[in-house]
């Protein structure tokens, strides 16, 4: 009687894709090891029964050497072996390395079904496997699948029941490799192929000179695309919608509203020379939806499109190799580029994915650097929207300041923090070109995630601010902080409100700067300060979860100190 | 036959692993990834002076931090 099904396998063999196929639960999958940092659970109908399916983080063996592997192995021991089934997922293009875990699972008496995934790719790469022979040698069900297309998944579910426990005496890893070598000789035939274009690219991207040229080219192209596509969506779709349809509609509906009292102020906001101005009115129905849909969402779409593409192709681990040297100086190693890049989308998944880093020290450095120096897409979109019209220098200026901060802060943390930073050891996946449908699904998941998280906060946030403004409740706070904001940072005292709102959401906070009529330099300081000061509340919560209260306090203290220093320094440099 | 570390051999050279220094944790980690005594590997590249080393072991491509590569003692073929 199977009560639970576990999916286990080496990192980056497509466990999450198989999981989605089995359970219908959509989870994010990418082409790099360590995408799954949280355990996903779902259900599969097996005969009459509904059985729980658990997607475990990738592991190379049952002797854990990292935190994620430990989690995988301990979960596997939750239930007695006769109540579970284990689907061991294997990358068919790399059978030999994957079999170590399989052999170990069989030895320890787990009821195993072998799911030979990516078997279409194996064929393309000249790897031919005799599945029947493998089944005979291992004495467990072996099923060839291609989870991306769904091929073989039905057969897999049908044969789960055939998994039986048949423990064997345990071997050492060294002996296991010998054993596996013998199996490979009998079941795998390699056809020698000339280097394909794909393999030449794979090779070139990890060599020093060609790799660097490719990296610069790809990052530049990605950045250009995000701006181009983001602006394109704004000028062709969202702006016409807001200006030509939504505004006239709102104006018509609110026209009979003669008395401009509390609710008018709350919903529509202030009229700017008798008209609704989406950037300055500050109403729940005007500025709030415009910030989210008209300024931020277009960039969220274009950014995640590029990120999903790079993730699925498998470029990111190669970037990690190239940046390892630099990141070592900051107390991190190459793989920290993954959390940092995710952080550019939204700091929350960025901070969560610092779990791919092993030591506490590394994770503290990575989390702090992400919170301070990595602006999320909503914030960046607003910076483009606001500072862009004053010229590219202001926008680049913000990035330059943030980059310099990351480097300086990283070097200092690396020199002062105790603890250790473990070594860089990473498997580089081959380039893969997943079907477009998979890309759209993932993009959809991420954009949905963004809207679900952001929209309620933005609407409630603007509502809340308007109530406070209407009843002049901010004046008290403004009065207290005015000396700091005005004296140190050279900003008008109304900017206090915007900086305080930064705790709620960064994009709304920048939006609050819009009606203040700031000069370019003041906007530059305000935007930079918003980027480096407190993270928004959502990041704050995950920071607390990931670093613990002590770590959070330490990290926050660093943020506040740096904000004050940088704000004053910029004020002195720019405004004097 | 000369013993050297993975850092010292050149790109595109083949070598056989003789020894892995640096404790059982690193050794067992590499072992579970398929790099063990007697395994033949090819060095693919070396990024910068103190940067990571990329090797091919079986059908896997592995990136090793500089100090990991220093601890893998090999024999050039």
* pLDDT tens digits for range A245-298: 999 999 888 887 766 788 888 888 888 888 888 988 888 999 999 999 999 999
Q: Which long-range contacts (CB under 8 A, 24 or more apart) does A22-26 make?
A: A22/A53, A22/A153, A22/A156, A22/A157, A23/A53, A26/A441, A26/A445
User: Given strand A142-144, what is the order of strands in its sheet?
Assistant: A40-46, A49-55, A4-9, A84-91, A112-117, A142-144
DSSP symbols for A77-118: TSS-GGGEEEEEEEEGGGHHHHHHHHHHHHHTT--EEEEEE-
Which of A157, A190, A223 marks a domain boundary?
A: A190
Task: Enumerate the residues of chain A whose CB falls inside 8 A of the CB of residue B44.
Answer: 203, 206-207
Q: Residue A119 above 80 pLDDT? A: yes
pLDDT tens track for A6-21: 999 999 998 999 999 9
Do residue A514 and residue A449 come from a single domain?
yes
- CATH number of the CATH domain containing A16: 3.40.50.300
Do residue A137 and residue A249 come from a single domain?
no
CATH for the B3-76 domain, from 2.30.30.90, 3.30.230.70, 2.40.50.1070, 3.30.470.10 = 2.30.30.90
Q: What pLDDT is recorded for position A212? A: 94
What's the whole-model pTM score?
Answer: 0.90
**Comparison of pLDDT for A496 and A177, the residue scoring more:** A177
Q: What pLDDT is recorded for position B23? A: 80
Residue % of chain A over a pLDDT of 90: 60
pLDDT < 50 stretches in chain B: none
Q: What pLDDT is recorded for position A547? A: 92
CB contact under 8 A, A100 and B37: no
Q: CA–CA separation, A372 vs A560, rounded Å?
A: 10
Q: Please name the residue of chain B whose CA is at the shortest distance from the CA of residue A10.
A: B33
Residue A265: inside a domain, yes or no?
A: no
pLDDT tens track for A408-444: 999 999 999 988 778 889 999 999 888 888 899 999 9
Residue A203: inside a domain, yes or no?
A: no
Q: Residue A529 above 80 pLDDT? A: yes
Closest Cβ opposite residue B44 in set A63, A203, A424: A203
Task: Enumerate the residues of chain B whose CB falls inside 8 A of the CB of residue A328.
Answer: 50, 65
Q: What pLDDT is recorded for position A257? A: 75
Which of A138, A155, A190 marks a domain boundary?
A: A190
Residue A233: inside a domain, yes or no?
A: yes
Do residue A435 and residue A558 come from a single domain?
yes
Do residue A328 and residue A402 come from a single domain?
yes
**Comparison of pLDDT for A35 and A528, the residue scoring more:** A528
Do residue A292 and residue A149 come from a single domain?
no
Q: Please name the residue of chain B whose CA is at the shortest distance from the CA of residue A65.
A: B29
CB contact under 8 A, B60 and A93: no
Q: How many domains does chain A have?
A: 2
Which domain covers residue A101, as residue numbers? 4-190
Q: Mean pLDDT, chain A, as a whole number?
A: 90
Q: What pLDDT is recorded for position A258? A: 66
Q: CA–CA separation, A520 vs A388, rounded Å?
A: 10
Q: Residue A576 above 70 pLDDT? A: no
Residue A20: inside a domain, yes or no?
A: yes
Q: Which long-range contacts (CB under 8 A, 24 or more apart) does A490-494 make?
A: A490/A522, A490/A525, A490/A571, A490/A575, A491/A518, A491/A522, A491/A525, A491/A526, A492/A516, A492/A518, A492/A522
Residue A272: inside a domain, yes or no?
A: no
Task: Enumerate the residues of chain A whose CB falls inside 8 A of the CB of residue B11.
Answer: 207
Q: What pLDDT is recorded for position A422? A: 80
Q: What pLDDT is recorded for position A511? A: 87
Q: What pLDDT is recorded for position A484? A: 82
Do residue A178 and residue A126 come from a single domain?
yes
Is residue A495 within 8 Å of residue A485, measured between CB atoms? Answer: yes
Q: CA–CA separation, A158 vs A426, rounded Å?
A: 35
Q: Residue A68 above 80 pLDDT? A: no
Task: Enumerate the residues of chain B whose CB falls inside 8 A of the CB of residue A95.
Answer: 59
* Residue of B53, B59, B72 to mutate for A, most A C-beta atoms under 10 A: B59
Q: CA–CA separation, A19 vs A115, rounded Å?
A: 12
Rounded mean pLDDT of A381-395?
89
Residue A250: inside a domain, yes or no?
A: yes
Do residue A172 and residue A300 come from a single domain?
no
pLDDT tens track for A196-251: 888 899 999 999 999 999 999 999 999 999 999 999 999 999 999 999 999 999 98
């Amino acid at each position: 009687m199977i009560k639970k099904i576990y999916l286990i396998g080496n990192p980056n063999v497509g466990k999450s894709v198989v999981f989605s196929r089995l359970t219908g639960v959509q989870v994010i999958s990418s082409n790099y090891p360590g995408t799954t940092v949280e355990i996903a659970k779902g259900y599969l109908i097996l005969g009459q029964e509904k059985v729980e399916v658990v997607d475990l983080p990738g592991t190379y063996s049952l002797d854990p050497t990292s935190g994620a592997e430990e989690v995988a192995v301990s979960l596997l021991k939750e239930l007695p072996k006769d109540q579970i089934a284990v689907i061991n997922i294997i990358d068919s293009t790399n059978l030999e390395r994957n079999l170590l875990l399989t052999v170990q699972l069989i030895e320890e008496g787990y009821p195993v079904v072998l799911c030979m995934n990516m078997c279409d790719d194996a064929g393309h790469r000249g790897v031919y496997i005799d599945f029947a022979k493998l089944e005979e040698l291992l004495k467990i069900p072996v099923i060839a699948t291609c989870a991306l297309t769904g091929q073989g998944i039905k057969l897999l579910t049908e044969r789960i029941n055939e998994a039986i426990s048949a423990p064997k005496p345990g071997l050492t890893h060294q002996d296991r490799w010998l054993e596996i070598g013998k199996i490979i000789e009998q079941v795998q035939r390699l056809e020698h192929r000339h280097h394909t274009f794909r393999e030449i690219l794979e090779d070139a991207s990890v060599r020093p000179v060609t790799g660097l040229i490719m990296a610069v080219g790809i990052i530049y192209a990605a950045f250009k695309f995000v701006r181009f596509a983001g602006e394109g969506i704004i000028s062709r779709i969202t702006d016409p919608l807001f200006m030509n349809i939504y505004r006239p509609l709102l104006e018509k509906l609110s026209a009979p509203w003669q008395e401009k009292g509390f609710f008018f102020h709350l919903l529509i906001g202030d009229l700017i020379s008798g008209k609704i101005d989406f950037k300055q009115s500050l109403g729940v129905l005007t500025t709030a939806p415009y910030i989210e849909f008209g300024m931020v969402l277009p960039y969220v779409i274009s950014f995640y499109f590029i990120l999903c593409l790079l993730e699925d192709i498998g470029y990111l681990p190669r970037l990690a190799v190239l940046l390892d040297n630099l990141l070592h100086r900051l107390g991190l190693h190459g793989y920290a580029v993954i959390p940092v890049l995710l952080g550019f989308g939204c700091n929350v998944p960025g901070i969560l994915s610092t779990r791919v880093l092993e030591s506490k020290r590394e994770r503290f450095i990575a989390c702090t650097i992400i919170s301070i120096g990595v602006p999320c897409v909503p914030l960046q979109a607003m910076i483009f929207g606001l500072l862009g019209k004053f010229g590219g220098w202001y926008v680049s200026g913000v990035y330059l300041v943030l980059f310099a901060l990351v480097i300086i802060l990283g070097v200092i943390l690396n020199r002062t923090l105790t603890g250790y930073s473990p070594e860089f050891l990473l498997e580089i996946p081959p380039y893969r070109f997943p079907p477009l449908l998979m890309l759209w699904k993932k993009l959809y998941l991420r954009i949905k995630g963004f809207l679900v998280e952001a929209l309620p906060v933005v609407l409630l946030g603007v509502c809340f601010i308007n109530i406070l403004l209407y009843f002049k409740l901010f004046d008290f706070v403004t009065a207290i902080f005015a000396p700091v904001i005005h004296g140190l940072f050279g900003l008008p005292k109304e900017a206090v409100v915007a900086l305080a709102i930064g705790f709620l959401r960064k994009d709304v906070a920048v939006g609050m700067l819009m009606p203040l009529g700031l000069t370019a330099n003041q906007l530059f300081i305000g935007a930079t300060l918003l980027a480096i000061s407190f993270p928004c509340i959502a990041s704050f919560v995950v920071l607390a979860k990931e670093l613990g209260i002590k770590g959070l306090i330490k990290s926050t203290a660093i943020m506040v100190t740096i904000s004050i220093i940088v704000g004053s320094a910029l004020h002195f440099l720019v405004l004097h | 036959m000369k013993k050297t570390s993975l850092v010292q051999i050149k790109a595109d050279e083949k070598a056989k692993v003789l020894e892995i220094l640096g404790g059982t944790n690193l050794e067992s980690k590499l072992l579970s990834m398929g790099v063990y005594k007697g395994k033949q590997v090819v060095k693919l590249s070396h990024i910068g002076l103190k940067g990571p080393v990329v090797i091919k072991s079986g059908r896997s491509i592995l990136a090793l931090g500089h100090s990991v590569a220093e601890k893998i003692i090999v024999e050039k073929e």
